[in-house]
Amino acid sequence: KCRTGPLDIVFVIDSSRSVRPFEFETMRRFMIDIIGNLDVGPNATRVGVIQYSSQVQNIFSLKTFFTRAEMERAINSIVPLAQGTMTGLAIQYAMNVAFTVSEGARPPHKKIPRIAIIVTDGRPQDRVSEVATQARNAGIEIYAVGIQRADMNSLRAMASPPLEEHVFLVESFELIQQFGKQFQDKLCGVDMCMERDHGCQHSCVSTPGSFYCECHPGYQLNADGRTCSPIDACADGRHGCEHLCISARGTYSCRCRAGYHLNQDKRTCTMIDYCSFGNHSCQHDCVSIPAGHRCRCRHGFMLQHDGKSCRAIDLCNGVDHGCEFKCVSSEGSFRCVCPEGQQLQADGKTCSKCGAGHVDLVMVIDGSKSVRPQNFELVKQFVNRIVDLLEVSPDGTRVGLVQYSSRVRTEFPLNKYHSAEEIKAAVMKVEYMEKGTMTGLALKHMVEHSFSELEGARPLSHNVPRIGLVFTDGRSQDDISEWAQRAKESGIVMFAVGVGKAVEEELRAIASEPVEQHFSYSADFTTMTHLVENFKLNICPEEGRGETEIRSPCECEALVQFQTNTVAILQSLTERNILWLTVFLADPLAQMTVRLEALEKQIALKK
């Protein structure tokens, strides 16, 4: 057996049409005989085989087999390609693929010799000199074995120096087996580990004319090249242990600090749930801590001296709440409320009428492919008309914008801009996304991110209304029901605006109650300007009532007033009709003028 030490050997076999079937059988025997005298294995010599003609075929790579029996079966099953003779292509494949670490070659720092044995019977049909030089420069030692009709100049162009030791010409296929015995002596030499006092602490690996030391798994070779030391697997910081990393002979294990247990991933830790033991006796909530547990009261309650029972707190009676109208105590806190028809100001204490109130408004616009670029510009104009209705300021109304298609993108959060001019300029710079319509994903993003305090939403304790406006032109490609419901449950007043092919069922699912006041529809993008006024009236109903005083129609005072108003209107109408009739009879041109003036007045009154 060859005991030179480990080698990486790849046979490059010519299976062109000039190699007759019985001749190819002798090439099989040549490879099998060579392998039969090698010490093969994952840590010994590795063998790969490729055949070529007009193309290259990998029979098995350096990492495929590690026993002679497996290799022999694979070699006996080779079917010759029987085409041209592209030897240069085969050398390039050996260099770029067969001798790579991913295909089983040992890394260069291991200093394992890489040997290519090329067996051919003819002249190459492509260039071999340049690619062979590249392969040799890459550290591949090339033996060129020509049989019968092989071109000696091509063999010399392929082989490594000295040529007399790497170029062989066999007169016939019948003599290749006898040549195989001679060639084996070229690969095998003296076992340097046996001949010298190598001084390796763990193991010695022999190579042609030299040797090197290797360490057992879990150890690394020291700078002296002979002794070994344990590998600290925790030192590189890539262990992923959440708490503690324990190194042991090249590997590691993770451990948790006291009060925690290791999860199934063997890396992360979870605090032990002492509350689950059922012996805490807490009146309200039990909270696990690393050292055990503690009791906690729900909002609006205070923990008693026994550390277990809770007592309610009425903060409206115990603090100077400063509410202008009324203080309402609620679970450990309080909030101010205003009379019907008025809104709580940003200070959370004073009240104002709806027209002067403030909101946190997030508009979620559909940027899917069906909208089209020209219509998307109309959508941006629609957004800016809504902005024109609002008193935008840090302490007043805040506006955020989200666009969605197959994904969701925050164009700007609630705390980004502080004036209507800034917002409108930012809206016009928004770029159209295109692609799908994931309305459910957009609703999820709005609930989880857009109305967070991190992105500028006022705390719930400030009682600033949160309004979400969803604009879409088609059916959603995902489910909307869950996140539409969550939005409303979290206190967001939801408005749904649909255009074109928007689905009424989905719009109603998004809209808050009463649904008829919270969803709108327009047949196309060019006729949706009326939706702005609808939105204005619904977020602030007083805007559409002018100075009209709403009174009970059953009160006597109201009835008298109603009669007086009715009589005045009837008298006015009678006087106008008499005037019109007089002018009509006197002058046909004047009558036309009067009719036009009457129409103009009617239109003005409707406005």
In the chain, % helix, strand, coil (3-state, to 5) comes to 35, 25, 40
Cβ–Cβ < 8 Å for 566, 573: no
The tokens for 241 are: 């242990």
pLDDT digits (tens, 9 = 90+) for 364-416: 999 999 889 998 998 999 899 888 878 888 888 999 999 999 999 999 999 99
Q: Domain map of the chain by residue range?
A: 7-188, 360-539
The tokens for 65 are: 């087999």
Q: Which of 104, 80, 66, 77 is nearest to 19 (CA)?
A: 80
pLDDT, residue 48, reads: 97
Highest mean pLDDT among 86-100, 499-513, 568-582: 86-100
pLDDT at 86 over 60: yes
pLDDT digits (tens, 9 = 90+) for 196-229: 788 999 998 877 667 889 998 888 899 999 999 8
The tokens for 214 are: 């290797």
pLDDT, residue 484, reads: 94
Which of 138-147, 347-356, 499-508, 521-530 bottoms out in mean pLDDT, i.e. has the lowest? 347-356
To the nearest whole number, what is the mean pLDDT of the chain? 83
Structure confidence at residue 9 as a pLDDT band (50, 70, 90):
very high
pLDDT, mean of residues 122-146: 93
The tokens for 346 are: 């940003």
The tokens for 354 are: 């709806």
Structure confidence at residue 517 as a pLDDT band (50, 70, 90):
confident
Spatial distance between the Cα atoms of 253 and 242, rounded to a whole number of angstroms = 11
Reduced to 3 states, what is the DSSP secondary structure of residue 425?
helix
The tokens for 523 are: 């047949």
pLDDT at 324 over 70: yes
Reduced to 3 states, what is the DSSP secondary structure of residue 604?
helix
CATH of 7-188, one of 3.20.20.70, 3.40.50.300, 3.40.50.620, 3.40.50.410: 3.40.50.410
Q: Which of 77, 84, 21 is nearest to 55 (CA)?
A: 84
Q: Which of 33, 12, 32 is nearest to 120 (CA)?
A: 12
What element of type H or E holds 380?
A: helix 373-388
pLDDT at 159 over 80: yes
Spatial distance between the Cα atoms of 261 and 279, rounded to a whole number of angstroms = 20
Q: E strands, 384-475, where?
A: 398-404, 408-412, 466-472
CATH code of the domain occupying 360-539: 3.40.50.410
Reduced to 3 states, what is the DSSP secondary structure of residue 304?
coil
User: At 40, phi and psi to the nearest 5?
Assistant: -90, 150
pLDDT, residue 262, reads: 92
The pairing of beta strand 8-14 with beta strand 114-120: parallel
pLDDT, residue 583, reads: 46
Structure confidence at residue 570 as a pLDDT band (50, 70, 90):
low
Which of 149-153, 280-284, 288-292, 533-537 bottoms out in mean pLDDT, i.e. has the lowest? 533-537
User: Same CATH topology for 7-188 and 360-539?
Assistant: yes
Spatial distance between the Cα atoms of 146 and 33, rounded to a whole number of angstroms = 18
Apex 176 CA angle, 172 and 178, nearest 5: 120
